[in-house]
Chain A
Amino acid sequence: MRVLVVEDEKKTASFVRKALEAEGFAVDVSARGDEALVAAISTPFDGIILDIMLPGRDGLSVLRQLRAQGNRTPVLLLSARGEVDERVEGLDAGADDYLPKPFVIAELVARVRALGRRGSETKATVLRVADLTLDTISHRAQRGGKVFDLTAREFRLLEFLMRSAGRICGRMSIIEKVWDYDFDPGTNLVDVYVKRLREKIDDGFEPKLLQTVRGVGYVLKE
């Protein structure tokens, strides 16, 4: 996958590039909005990570111009403001995803990966990780013959984690997908829910599936 990173802050651009390259992406970096627009039009990228505040031309304007020309390259917007209005504005302008700064690198990488997969997400109704299964129609989860009672929220959390099995899920993504919050609630809500879910699906079983990635989020994997 070839990705264009448009970010004028050198250090940020540098660690984003390193992280993406470590995951096997080919990365181009541009520090100016106008240059990025030219590059995005001339090169077929699989995804663009676009900062909003840029010299030359701001990110939203680059995005609008791209979309106006019929360019459908998936775009993930980065913004230092992290306000809901800006997120809505970005998505309206044609962005596929939005991440406020400061972001978790692992989360950024996971989302860029998801950009490439857009539309091809698994539609399976029974999800399976090791011996844990979740029936998304009957809302029943079971492991090793034991059936778990899940609250609506726990079900959504488990479904999200299982659909992204093997990939790190940042707190921000979990909050967005499971709670529909556009803002960081500033509580340890996610951690408390994950802990409860873990007590249900992992206590008394081996191997432990739901793992914590310190400073980043959670991952469900064998």
Chain B
Amino acid sequence: MKIRTRLNLWYMAILSAVALAVVGAAVYHELVIEHRHYRHHNHGEKSETELDSEDLIDILTWSVTPAIVVGVIGGWWLTRRALEPVANLTDAVEKVNDRNLSTPLPRSGNGDELDRLTEVFNAMTSRLDSSFQRIREFTLHASHELKTPLTVLRGELETALHDESLTAARKDQLASQIDEIERLAKIVDGLTLLTKADAGQVALKLEPVKFDELVRESAADAKILAQPHGVDVSESQCEQITITGDRHRLRQLLLNLTDNAVKYNQPGGKIDFSLRRDGNCGLLQISNSGAGLAPDLQGHVFERFFRGDSSHNSEIEGCGLGLSIAQWIVLAHKGEIRFESRPNQLTTVSVRLPLAN
């Protein structure tokens, strides 16, 4: 129960009790004491002013009830006024998230308890903000610092690879090391992107984008990528859909999802692309006949470096950030992304993006 309701109820109860007590005392005085006094003086004759029960009801109806009602309304207004800053503060605190920690809550400045609470809260969020900031800066610096040795390693290996006296086996070894360096570089790139995104430092270049064209293009890429694995790619539906978005990021999103659909599929499996209007959104569904994921793991699929069931996927290359990046891109476009997988059925990633006006 809200404090306001509780205060109001208590106040109402007390007000009614007091009012009734006062009225009760007055009536007692009137009925019993005055009456006795009157009889004493007038030898038992009935007084014209004597009160009966109807009068009593009248008194209660016309004086006590309005007093209680006025009192209750006044009390309700007072508690509302007193608690309004608390409600405002609650609304303001509710809007605080990891991205706007640096914006302080507005203070009343009148030095009361709530003003003090706001001040303490602001101090706390500013401490949190600086620790978040430090973590982000650390990741950005770390990414940058990692790139330098990776560049040197890659450069030196490539130079070594040019040595004509190397055996084929040795060349393979060097080339495989280069592959691993590129994978590391991709992880570092992905981390940099996500860290910047967390800090709100990645700006989207918004423009009207014909999403169906991008989806068709991805389906065509998927066909080529899937062919060596004997995976069949279909386009069950592709309605014309225009959204407001960042073309480059949307292509990145589609490529990440397409790549996953191919990588986590099984030989001879299938992939289906479907894009259609759904209310005021475009709904893209990419389904694949891969092994899928156990229900308890599906909630983690967008987490960074989530690798699913390690016994299944140890062979699959990737940086472990593809779906996290996909999720960021969708959320940045005010959309929704979902992953659904049931045993022995298709695994579907659904992306819902608002249509352009």
Using CB atoms and an 8 Å cutoff, list the residues of chain A in contact with chain B.
9, 11-12, 15-16, 18-19, 53, 80-85, 100-106, 151, 153, 181-189, 192-193, 195-196, 214-216
Q: Which residues of B contact A214 (CB under 8 A)?
A: 161, 171, 175
Q: Is B143 an interface residue (CB 8 A)?
A: yes
Residues from chain B with Cβ under 8 Å of A80 in the complex: 143-144, 147-148, 151
Interface 0/1 of B95-123, CB less than 8 Å to A = 00000000000000000000000000000
B137 in the interface (beta carbon within 8 A): no
Cross-chain contact B203 with A12 (CB below 8 angstroms): no
CB-CB under 8 A for A104 and B152, given A182-B248, A186-B186, A187-B255: no
Q: Is B298 an interface residue (CB 8 A)?
A: no
* B147–A105 CB distance below 8 A: no
Interface 0/1 of B141-167, CB less than 8 Å to A: 001100110111111111101000000
A125 to chain B, nearest CB (A): 26
A-B contact pairs, 16 of them (CB 8 A): A12-B148, A18-B159, A80-B147, A80-B148, A83-B189, A83-B192, A84-B248, A102-B147, A102-B182, A103-B154, A181-B255, A183-B252, A184-B186, A187-B255, A188-B225, A192-B224
In contact, B224 and A12 (Cβ under 8 angstroms): no
Q: Please state if A186 and B251 are interface contacts (CB–CB under 8 Å).
A: no
Chain A residue nearest to B179 in the complex (CB): A215
The distance in angstroms between the C-alpha atoms of A82 and B148, with both chains bound, is 12
Query: Once the chains bind, are A186 and B158 in contact (CB under 8 Å)?
Result: no
Interface of B, secondary structure class, is helix
Do the beta carbons of B158 and A196 come within 8 Å of each other?
A: no
* CB-CB nearest in chain B for A151: B220
Cα distance A15–B159 in the bound complex, in angstroms? 8
Cα distance A106–B151 in the bound complex, in angstroms:
13
- CB nearest to A171 among chain B residues: B182
List the A residue with the shortest CB-CB distance to B252: A183
Are B318 and A81 neighbours in the complex by a CB distance under 8 Å? no
In chain B between 172 and 214, which residues have their CB closer than 8 angstroms to a CB of chain A?
A: 174-175, 178-179, 181-182, 185-186, 189, 192-193, 196, 202-203
Q: Which residue on B lies nearest to A22, using beta carbons?
A: B162
In the complex, whether B221 has a CB less than 8 A from a CB of chain A is yes
Whether the pair A102, B203 counts as a contact (CB closer than 8 A) is no
Check if B159 sits within 8 Å of A215, measured CB to CB.
Answer: no
**Is A215 in contact with B225, judged by CB distance below 8 angstroms?**
no
Taking CB atoms, residues of chain A closer than 8 Å to B255 are: 181, 185-187, 189
Task: Count residues of B near A (Cβ-Cβ below 8 Å).
Answer: 45
A188 contact set on B, CB distance < 8 A: 225
User: Is residue B259 contacting chain A, with contact meaning CB distance below 8 A?
Assistant: yes
CA distance A196 to B181 in the complex (A): 26
B residues in contact (CB < 8 Å) with A: 143-144, 147-148, 150-159, 161, 171, 174-175, 178-179, 181-182, 185-186, 189, 192-193, 196, 202-203, 220-221, 224-225, 227-228, 248, 251-252, 255-256, 259, 318-319, 322
Tell me, in angstroms, the Cα distance from A184 to B192 when the chains sit together.
14
Report A153 CB to chain B, min CB distance, Å.
7
Whether A12 contacts B152 by the Cβ 8 Å rule is yes
Chain A positions within 8 Å of B171 at CB level: 214
Bound: A189/B256 CA distance, A:
12
Q: Is the CB of A102 within 8 A of B155?
A: yes
- Report A49 CB to chain B, min CB distance, Å: 13
Residues of A contacting B148 in the complex (Cβ-Cβ under 8 angstroms): 9, 12, 80, 101
- Does the CB pair A85–B203 fall under 8 Å? yes
- B149 to nearest A CB, angstroms? 9
The closest CB in chain B to the CB of A80 belongs to B147
Distance between A144 CB and nearest chain B CB, rounded to angstroms: 25
**Most B-side CB within 10 Å, residue of A19, A102, A106, A193:** A102
* A102→B192 contact, CB < 8 A: no
Starting from the known contacts A80-B151, A184-B186, 4 additional A-B residue pairs (CB-CB under 8 Å) come to: A102-B155, A102-B185, A183-B252, A214-B171
Chain A residues near B143 (CB, 8 Å)? 80-81
A100 to B196, CA, bound (A): 17
Residues from chain B with a CB closer than 8 A to the CB of A182 are 248
Q: Are B158 and A106 in contact (CB under 8 A)?
A: yes
B319 touches A186 (CB 8 A): yes
Asked whether A186 and B174 contact (CB < 8 A) given A81-B144, A81-B192, A105-B158, the answer is no
| B143, B147, B175: residue with the most chain A Cβ atoms closer than 10 Å | B147
A210 CB to closest chain B CB, in angstroms? 16
